[in-house]
Homo-oligomer: A and B are copies of this chain.
Amino acid sequence: MRVLVWAENCESIYPDGVHGAIASTLSEDLPQVRAATATLEDPGCGLDDSVLEQTDVLVWWAHVRNEEVPDDVAQRVYERVLRGMGLIVLHSGGEAKVFRRLMGTSCTWGWREPGERELIWTVCPSHPIAQDVGDVIELTEHQMYGEYFDIPRPDDLVFISSSPGGEVFRSGCTFTRGNGRIFYFSAGHETLPIFHHPQIRKVMANAVTWAYPVNGFVKARGFRRMDPV
């Protein structure tokens, strides 16, 4: 399972960056994973066709520089997802060009500065991404994201988050586009050790496993004249 973790490479509490921290925990938690990283600073964002063709699941974390990703890079990732690549979109990655392109909506939402407790409730306990996660994840401190979150109806709504102020957020949502499986997860802010939280690690490992293209990659079919069967 070839996983590529992409991030903006902003300042964070993680010595090797958010991408480094995620790649490292995924490698520890899933022996079958070979994790690589790429960032906005790499040539072509580190997302050339040759790289994407060696990627089964792409993890996409972003903070505030989503608009700096060139359109053709977003398009390449988009096309690879339709062919089968799994995509895990994290935190402000919900604003990413490729995610908006896949959703067909604005993907905007509300937020506040970090510092409030977040509870992440499992509302689809039978889903593979919820396996061994438990009823609720407590983040003692996180950044509040709140509705209305402008996404299409998810295939499965797996998690709903709340803040002490009473805001709610559909924080864990699955989608299918073409042959690709997509999971949006609102964790985790770069100034807080969210990706070290044991239950968040479990969600991440489950998500990557779930998004793996079990049916392989398909070629684009295009419009086609059909012969009788």
Contacts and interface: CB of A to CB of B under 8 A. Distances in A.
Interface of A: 82, 84, 95, 101-106, 108-112, 117, 119, 121-128, 130-132, 135-136, 138, 144, 146-150, 152-153, 155-157, 160-168, 170, 175-181, 213-215, 218, 220-226, 228-229
B166 A131 contact: no
B157 A162 contact: no
Question: How many subunits of this chain does the assembly comprise?
Answer: 4
Q: Which 9 A-B pairs have the closest CB atoms?
A: A110-B226, A119-B166, A165-B228, A102-B104, A104-B104, A126-B179, A162-B162, A160-B168, A162-B166
A199 B229 CA distance: 16
B155 A218 contact: no
A198 B165 CA distance: 23
Given A110-B225, A126-B178, 4 more contacts: A105-B177, A111-B225, A125-B215, A150-B221
B153 A222 contact: no
A148 B126 contact: no
